[in-house]
Amino acid sequence: MRNFICIAIFLISFSGFSQQLSHISQWANHQYAINPAHTGIKTCLEVQSTIRGQWIKMEGAPVTGMLTVSAPLKAKRKKLLSGRHGIGGMVNYDQIGPFQQFNVQLSYAGHFNFTIDNRLSLGLAAGMSQLSFDLNKARPLTPDPVINGSATELLPTATFGAWWNGKNYYAGLSLYNLIPLNWKKIGTNAQSNVHGMINGGFRKAINPNWTFLPGMYLGFTKGAPVDLQLQIMMDYQRKFNVGLGYRNTDAVIAFLGFRLGDRWRMMYSFDFITSKLRTNTLHSHEITLSFSPCRMPSSDQQLCPLFQ
């Protein structure tokens, strides 16, 4: 019964105008996953993977996995403020009850410095999205005329991103689903809508050891509640960080992250569900693992918090 309720909610989201994108709690730790303008923004390769289990105890609950690879085309500038460019790719998988969505996209971004510290980045991602629906897993009590039956469709996708950062702050904008998707094989009125995202944050050194890193995320689309996420992180010598977050729709979030040597980072987050789903779930868990051979900045450098 709970599985069927989840399915009904998902179908309503396609026929209406609710949130249709997978979301992660660790967006500040995995910026490329939410903004193609972050493609190749570092001076070396970066590989990140995120796995998220949402509403763990509920039957048919969402499971999300993503893998991203991002690298600069040329790390060194010909001139002091000449532009740089980057390429990248992302594979994203979502499982929600009888629905499976598999996305593959490639991205490009240009990074343009106005001063040594201030940079504008613009990125575009394009790829394909495969959505599958298994009616046998839905187990509807009675036939539903809006469901066409089990099917799989493959359609194009596109995302635009913009990013601005200074020494100690950043701001980003993303627009998703720029190509309208109509899942005609799955439902009589199943379609995607353009989604938007704005995020930002800054870095404030409290003392030589501790750094304060607050951030804000705002997701929006037509006819759906605004997804507001706030978080406060405390970083210790770029080796260990802890934090708390809040999502206005359903959760209070705890973060714990640490470095594994010079090239690896890991972060775990736990979403304590505050909505009515809390009585039927074991909350949500998320893990992100990052690899980058980029050399850590020296202690006297003041950089955008995501470029550590």
Mean pLDDT over 138-158 rounds to: 69
pLDDT surpassing 70 at residue 308: no
d(CA 35, CA 207): 31
CA distances (Å), 201 to each of 168, 211, 236, in order?
9, 13, 18
pLDDT surpassing 50 at residue 11: no
pLDDT for residue 250: 81
- The two three-digit tokens of residue 180, written as one number: 């309208």
pLDDT category at 44 given cuts 50, 70, 90 is: confident
The percentage of residues in the chain with a pLDDT greater than 90, rounded to a whole number, is 46
CATH number at residue 95: 2.40.160.40
Q: How many domains does the chain contain in total?
A: 1
pLDDT for residue 304: 58
pLDDT for residue 138: 64
pLDDT surpassing 60 at residue 4: no
Q: Is 7 helix (H, G, I), strand (E, B) or coil?
A: helix
pLDDT surpassing 70 at residue 48: yes
d(CA 104, CA 230): 29
pLDDT surpassing 90 at residue 172: yes
pLDDT for residue 145: 56
Mean pLDDT over 28-57 rounds to: 90
Structural domain for 242, as ranges: 2-307
pLDDT in tens, 223-273: 778 899 999 999 998 889 999 999 988 889 999 999 988 899 999 999 988
